[in-house]
Amino acid sequence: MKGKNWREYQPQRRRKKKHGRRKGGMLTKLIMAVLLFTLGYAGFQIYFHYSKPYVVALDPGHGGIDSGAVGVIQEVELTERTSAKLAELLKADGRFRVVLSRDEGEDKSITDRNKLFQRVKPTLVLSIHANSGEDPAALGFECYPSPPGKENHEESLAFAQYIASEMEAAGARLRGTYGVRFGYYVLDEDGETSKLLVDSTDTQIYDYDTFGMLKNMTCPAVLVEQCFVTNQEDVEEFGTDEGCAKAAQAYYQAICKYLEDMEKDAEK
Ligand SMILES: [Zn+2]
């Protein structure tokens, strides 16, 4: 009887001990699970960030109460349509992180957009606009890289040439010399600002401000004037839903080709 009692007692003690140990094990497992999850999540975030080596800063020109130029369509319709389509193409590619300067419909100052772009340290900056002219016959594509004298001038000019060439392949008529110009703001004696647009063959360094979105950037930065919103034919080609999609495709190809060629050059 004594022995039996002892045996009956022992397993109970053991069970109790085991039970106690299991309790501690559960807590450790829980802590480990939380830790692993946290580490895994952080790892995933780091992977997600670095697996997308390129940051493209996209600026849909104008917005909010500022509709930009008005013609057959409003300029802002074109800038938002094209940016949205281009962002979609870049995201689907998998190599790009897209930073938009503003949300759709939002009004935002050039200074705030520019500050945001400075913070995100982009690989490329593309600001999308459209032209307008008093002459309804005026049409075509032109783009404005960071001008001579700026530290990012050379690479901006190269990027602009890729963009213009892809737009030409998409059917756009290039204005000026190969569709590339430099833009400045000139202050006259009365304190009035006017735009000075020079051809890309004019490589002298002017002591004028360039377009706000191209300033303070260390990466290639280009502003495009996609087409003339005041020209029916131009809008049909590059201002409608399909037209903006076509332009976005051209910009996407220019971005890919430019970066791929730069990488090839760097490997040499
Ligand atoms: Zn504009």
- pLDDT tens digits, one per residue of 63-74: 999 999 999 999
In angstroms, what is the span from residue 2 Cα to ligand 1's centroid? 98
Domain boundary at 26, 51, 76, which?
51
| 29 and 157 housed in the same domain | no
| 9 and 134 housed in the same domain | no
Torsion, Cα 201 128 161 175, to 10 degrees, reads -50
Q: What is the pLDDT along the chain (268 residues), one digit of tens a residue?
A: 455 555 555 555 555 545 545 566 889 999 999 999 988 888 776 666 666 789 999 999 999 999 999 999 999 999 999 999 999 999 999 999 999 999 999 999 999 999 999 999 999 999 999 999 999 999 999 999 999 999 999 999 999 999 999 999 999 999 998 999 999 999 888 889 999 999 999 999 998 999 999 999 999 999 999 999 999 999 999 999 999 999 999 999 999 999 999 999 998 8
| 6 and 59 housed in the same domain | no
State the pLDDT at residue 113.
97
In angstroms, what is the span from residue 62 Cα to ligand 1's centroid? 6
Please count the structural domains in the chain. Answer: 2
Domain that holds residue 96: 53-267
Question: Which residues are bridge partners to 183 per DSSP?
Answer: 197
In angstroms, what is the span from residue 76 Cα to ligand 1's centroid? 8
CATH at 210: 3.40.630.40
State the pLDDT at residue 157.
97
In angstroms, what is the span from residue 237 Cα to ligand 1's centroid? 18
How many CA atoms does the CB half-sphere of 158 hold within 13 Å? 14
In angstroms, what is the span from residue 12 Cα to ligand 1's centroid? 83
In angstroms, what is the span from residue 127 Cα to ligand 1's centroid? 9
State the pLDDT at residue 8.
54
Tokens standing for 140?
């075509």
In angstroms, what is the span from residue 69 Cα to ligand 1's centroid? 6
What is the rounded distance in angstroms from the CA atom of residue 229 to the CA atom of residue 204? 31
In angstroms, what is the span from residue 130 Cα to ligand 1's centroid? 6
Domain boundary at 29, 51, 73, which?
51
pTM: 0.81
What is the rounded distance in angstroms from the CA atom of residue 154 to the CA atom of residue 176? 19
In angstroms, what is the span from residue 170 Cα to ligand 1's centroid? 21
| 98 and 142 housed in the same domain | yes
| 155 and 250 housed in the same domain | yes
| 152 and 34 housed in the same domain | no
In angstroms, what is the span from residue 18 Cα to ligand 1's centroid? 74
| 9 and 57 housed in the same domain | no
In angstroms, what is the span from residue 223 Cα to ligand 1's centroid? 9
Domain boundary at 36, 51, 66, which?
51
| 21 and 95 housed in the same domain | no
| 137 and 14 housed in the same domain | no
| 25 and 57 housed in the same domain | no
In angstroms, what is the span from residue 75 Cα to ligand 1's centroid? 7
| 28 and 46 housed in the same domain | yes
| 108 and 80 housed in the same domain | yes
